[in-house]
């Protein structure tokens, strides 16, 4: 069984036992969270696509860790103008482990 969930403005394909990096969430390490913005659920009995969300579907997760991703370089340049600008940033993330998918198919 898998589901597609939306969190932090991004969509993720999740399965039970899978760990993924979501944009930073305000939750303590070890806390249980419920992702209720489920866009699609697929199980043994079929596929359920939400319009836009699947009614009553919830993905249960546990927060494993918080961290910062690798540095991303942003380089801007205008040719023949003598303009160039180099910036970098590191995105905060929350490492989340999926513990269960609840949906009525």
- How many Cα atoms sit within 13 Å of 44 on the Cβ side? 0
pTM of the model: 0.84
Domains contained in the chain, number? 1
Q: Supply the range of the domain harboring residue 41.
A: 2-102
**How many helices, marked H, and strands, marked E, lie in the chain?**
0, 10
- pLDDT tens digits for 9-42? 999 999 999 999 999 999 999 999 999 999 999 9
């Amino acid at each position: 069984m898998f589901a597609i969930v939306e969190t932090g403005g991004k969509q993720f394909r999740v399965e039970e036992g899978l760990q993924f990096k979501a944009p930073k969430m305000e939750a303590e390490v070890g806390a249980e969270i419920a992702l209720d913005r489920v866009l699609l659920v697929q199980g043994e009995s079929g596929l359920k696509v939400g319009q836009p969300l699947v009614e009553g579907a919830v993905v249960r997760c546990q927060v494993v860790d918080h961290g910062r991703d690798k540095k991303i370089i942003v380089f801007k340049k205008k040719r023949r103008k003598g303009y160039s600008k180099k910036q970098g940033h590191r995105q905060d993330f929350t490492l989340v482990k999926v513990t269960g998918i609840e949906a009525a198919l």
